[in-house]
Structure 1
Amino acid sequence: MTAIDRDSGLAVWRQIEETLAEEIRSRRWTEGQRLPTEAELSQRFGVNRHTLRRAVSALVDRGLVRVEQGRGAFVRENVLEYLVGQRTRFTENVRRANRSASGRLLSFKRMRASKDVAEVLRLTPGTAVLQVETVNQVDDRPLSVGAHWFPAKRFPDFQEVYDATHSITRVMEHHGIPNYARAVTKVTARMPDVTEAEVLGQPRNRPVLYVEAVNVDPDGVPVQLSHVRYAADRFQMVFETLSEGAKYFEGD
């Protein structure tokens, strides 16, 4: 049992809050980890559940903990601030936050473009395209799962380069497109399906951000259509409409 000083003048629930907050800061409990149950924590501190719940509620207000109904309390993940502008690069966004970026290939297919994909990529329906499904990770934890389409003719070495680099940016550079740009980004929120929740390592009752995007080459020709699902509680999308616009939020 963890001792509580009932004569300190500091409320019991506040002492519990500070104890758990310090354990989170010292990484006794890591990002995304579930805290012990209410019953276990109540027994540890020798308090009733009402007192324990007040302490947990304070941790939620501080942004240290999130509570999922029916599942318990979890250490809140550090949210990645993801800059979206004309130059949107996953690895650059992650490294800017001093975190580690990685990616892996789920599937790679050569197929004929559907009417919808062909329209976005300005191709004739039935033209060969590459459909690529990837998982992007931050600090070895999945952040997003995405489906991407590319004109097959422009990327003959796509799979080999991606397998070697795990980077779509490197694939673009290899094929002579070092300066591709984001033309449009559309964002909606929805609940994940079974596969998305499993890949992202999250429950189905927690929403994802569904992002549709088109990248173009320096001549404005579309080279990539993406449909990406992001774990919403690990991710904050920042839209930069002026150069270095994110600086206006420095200090927030």
Structure 2
Amino acid sequence: MTVIDRDSGVSVWRQIEQTLSEEIRTGQWGEGARLPTEGELSERFRVNRHTVRRAVGGLADRGLVRVEQGRGIFVRENVLEYLIGRRTRFTENVKRVNRSPGGHAISLTRQRVDREVAGVLGIRAGAQVVHLETVGEVDGRPVSYGSHWFAAKLFPRFEETYRATGSGSITQVMEAHGFGDYERAVTKVTARMPDAAEADLLKQPRNRPILYVESLNVAINGQPVQASHVRYAADRVQMVFETRPVAGPTFEEEP
């Protein structure tokens, strides 16, 4: 039981909010951790549920927790600010904010491409592609699950180069095949609910949305080199779209 000072001049719900906030700040409740239920908090602080609900609402307003109907109260994750621009690189995005990138390949195969992906890559349907599926991690926690396609004729040594990087770096594979300066040409973002496999790989419940990102990377001459469909945990990633600043007209002052 935690004692509430009812003579302090600070409202009871505010004291509860401050106590829980301090526990989150000091790491007693880590990112993504589920806090005790309203009933358990009511018993701990010896108050009614309405008071607890108001304290939790204060934490939610400050962005410290999220409340999921039917599941509980969870500490909000440290959201990754993910820049989408001409040069979009997962590792660079993560390191830019002093966090640790990681991840692993789920599968790496060669297959015949379907009509949809073929159209994006500018090759004929049924042509051979390298198909790579990956999980991207930040600080050891999954944030993305990606499916990537590369025209096989452009990447004859994809598999050996990818494995030789040790870290599974797509950028290094690109460089090894002469496409080190590849750029982002198209990015389409859709919010939707995950299927069972996606939720499992992202380690999140199925009732929490994901960001489904379809993208195309091209070589410096505009040739398509990589098509990707990546699912991001929406509560762990914030997409930030970079745009090139446009200089406005310059006017000379009249004498």
TM normalised by structure 1 equals 0.94
User: Which residue number in structure 2 is paired with residue 111 of structure 1?
Assistant: 111
Q: Distance in 1 between matches of 2:21 and 2:133?
A: 38
**Residue type at the aligned position of 2:13:** W
User: Which residue number in structure 2 is paired with residue 186 of structure 1?
Assistant: 188
Q: Secondary structure at the match of 1:165?
A: coil
Q: Distance in 1 between matches of 2:29 and 2:160?
A: 39
Q: Secondary structure at the match of 1:106?
A: strand
Cα offset, 1:30, TM superposition: 0.5
User: Which residue number in structure 2 is paired with residue 74 of structure 1?
Assistant: 74
**Superposition misfits of 4+ residues, deviation over 3 angstroms:** none
Q: Distance in 2 between matches of 1:124 and 1:71?
A: 47
Instruction: Name the count of aligned residue pairs.
Output: 244
User: Which residue number in structure 2 is paired with residue 170 of structure 1?
Assistant: 172
User: Which residue number in structure 1 is paired with residue 237 of structure 2?
Assistant: 235
Q: Distance in 2 between matches of 1:162 and 1:187?
A: 27
Contact 1:103 1:167 (8 Å CA) reproduced: no
Unmatched runs of 5 consecutive residues or more in structure 2: 247-255
The RMSD of aligned alpha carbons is 1.3
Q: Distance in 2 between matches of 1:35 and 1:196?
A: 25
Residues 86-128 of structure 1 deviation map (CA, whole Å, 9 limit, x = unaligned): 1101111111111110121011120112122211111122211
Are residue 196 (structure 1) and residue 198 (structure 2) matched?
Answer: yes
Residues 161-211 of structure 1 deviation map (CA, whole Å, 9 limit, x = unaligned): 333222111111122211100001001111000010111111111111110
Percentage of identical aligned residues: 66
Q: Secondary structure at the match of 2:235?
A: helix
Cα offset, 1:66, TM superposition: 0.2
Q: Distance in 1 between matches of 2:51 and 2:167?
A: 51
User: Which residue number in structure 2 is paired with residue 249 of structure 1?
Assistant: none
Contact 1:102 1:166 (8 Å CA) reproduced: no
**Residues 21-170 of structure 1 correspond to what in structure 2 (within 5 A)?**
21-163=21-163, 164-170=166-172
User: Which residue number in structure 2 is paired with residue 247 of structure 1?
Assistant: none
Which entry has the higher C-alpha Rg, 1 or 2?
A: 2
Cα offset, 1:159, TM superposition: 2.5
**Residues 13-28 of structure 1 correspond to what in structure 2 (within 5 A)?**
13-28=13-28
Q: Distance in 1 between matches of 2:188 and 2:32?
A: 28
Cα offset, 1:214, TM superposition: 0.1
User: Which residue number in structure 1 is paired with residue 9 of structure 2?
Assistant: 9
Q: Distance in 2 between matches of 1:243 and 1:202?
A: 37
Cα offset, 1:43, TM superposition: 1.2
